[in-house]
Chains A and B, each alone.
Chain A
Amino acid sequence: MNKQEYMLELQKALKKLNIADIDEIIEEYEQHFINKLADGYSQEEITAKLGKPQLIAEQFAENADTAKHPAKAVLSIGFGFLDIIFGAVLILLYSWVIVLGAVSVASAMIGADLIFKLHLISYIPFMPYPGALFLGISFFALAALSIVGTVYSHLTICQWARAFIRFQKNVLNYSPYPNLSLSPNINTKKKRLLRTIIIISLMVFGIAFIVGYITLASYAGSLEFWHVLGWFI
């Protein structure tokens, strides 16, 4: 078989098996001929050593089982649109993290102001001391809670982004990697720590808030102590 016959047969066999990008494959074998001819082999020798075109084409077909996908281009475009939407949604979701972070900072500042009688924040209305101390503590607990929430939401959203990217890669490239879970992978030790912080700060928040309320109410002699203390005027 000479080169022309070989290439024609290979092309036919590839077409028959529905292989993608036949031109690319043909080009590779063209190159093979060019190099072999330059090394002094005859066309007949080269085609004999290459192996039967039919067998070669079958090898491409075998390997393409998982790789070739006629809808890949469509999928890519679809994912492109999906990326824009999902990206926007992620940014939107991330604003939650920012808000929660701001809540943490604000709570901590209010708590510190109340506990240490700093009077730096002019918006905080007058509050007699032991009550202010308890309310300050409850604000600190609130800060701890929202810090945990901030960290956890941040990790979750990042994990979603990663999982989405991995999913796309898997669909498009058929890569051997498993899909990622949607919950962030925090190790058990850290998980336990987070849970402890949540429980303790919830309890502290509840107790300090109630005690603070009672203290202030008894100080003012009214359940609606804020009227007595002259708030919201």
Chain B
Amino acid sequence: MNIQYKKGVLELCVLSMLCKSDQYGYDISEYLSKKIDISDGTIYPILRKLKSEGLVTTYLSEQSGGPPRKYYRLTALGKEEFFSAKAEWISFTKIIEEIIEEEINE
């Protein structure tokens, strides 16, 4: 898959995961890099960008037998952004699908 495609979508995927529950950075990276063919390091810049945009916040959570983990949580703004980005994505892919299908049929 084209890398440019992925970049835009990854943000949406991260927001979606965080919408369900707070996540540890590593878990997000692992989950997405297993599903989508990206290098492991790609998610961290995205998380940082989301944080600087105020869509997510971080907090440290103590772990038994290990250093505290940095968890990411969606802010109210992030939730808003997720729902609008999700709707946009769905309507966008629908249109693309239609266009592609048309071409095949002709």
On chain A, the residues within 8 Å of B44 by CB distance are 25, 28-29, 32, 56
CA distance A55 to B42 in the complex (A): 9
- Closest B residue to A33 by beta carbon equals B26
* A:10-41 near B, CB below 8 Å: 25, 27-29, 31-32, 34-36
When distances are taken between beta carbons in the complex, the residues of chain A under 8 Å from B66 are: 34
Contacts of A59 in B (CB 8 A): 41-42, 45-46
Number of A-B contacts (CB under 8 A): 72
Residues of A within 8 A of B41 (CB): 29, 32, 50-51, 55-56, 59
| Distance between Cα atoms of A29 and B29 in the complex (Å) | 11
Q: Residues on B close to A: CB < 8 A?
A: 25-26, 29-30, 33, 39-42, 44-49, 52-54, 66-67, 69-70, 77
B69 touches A31 (CB 8 A): yes
Q: Nearest 4 pairs between A and B by C-beta? A: A51-B39, A67-B52, A63-B49, A59-B45
A117, chain B: closest CB distance, angstroms: 58
Measured CA separation A195–B30 after assembly (Å): 62
Partner of A35, one of B26, B39, B77: B26
Closest-by-CB residue of A relative to B39 is A51
Interface magnitude class on chain A: 20 to 34
Cα-based distance from A28 to B40 in the complex (angstroms): 12
Q: Is the CB of B39 within 8 A of A31?
A: no
- In the bound complex, residues from chain B placing their C-beta under 8 Å from that of A176 are 53
Determine the chain B residues whose CB is within 8 A of the CB of A29 once the complex forms: 41, 44
Judge if A190 is at the interface, Cβ distance under 8 Å: no
Q: A56-B44, A59-B45, A64-B49 are in contact. List 6 more A-B contacts (CB 8 A).
A: A31-B67, A32-B25, A35-B26, A60-B48, A67-B49, A68-B52
CB pair B45–A32 under 8 Å, yes or no, is no
Q: How far is the CA of A165 from the CA of B54 in the complex (A)?
A: 15
Q: Which of B40, B42, B45, B67 has the largest number of chain A CB atoms within 10 A?
A: B45
Q: Is A222 an interface residue (CB 8 A)?
A: no
Cβ of A174 within 8 Å of any chain B Cβ, yes or no, is yes
Asked whether B26 lies within 8 Å of A25 as measured between CB atoms, the reply is no
Tell me, in angstroms, the Cα distance from A201 to B10 when the chains sit together: 60
Instruction: Give min CB distance, A17 to chain B, whole Å.
Output: 11
Are B48 and A63 closer than 8 Å at their CB atoms? Answer: yes
Q: Which residue of A lies closest to B50 (CB)?
A: A63
Min CB distance, B58 to chain A, in Å?
Answer: 9
A68 to chain B, nearest CB (A): 7
B33 partner residues in chain A, CB cutoff 8 A: 49
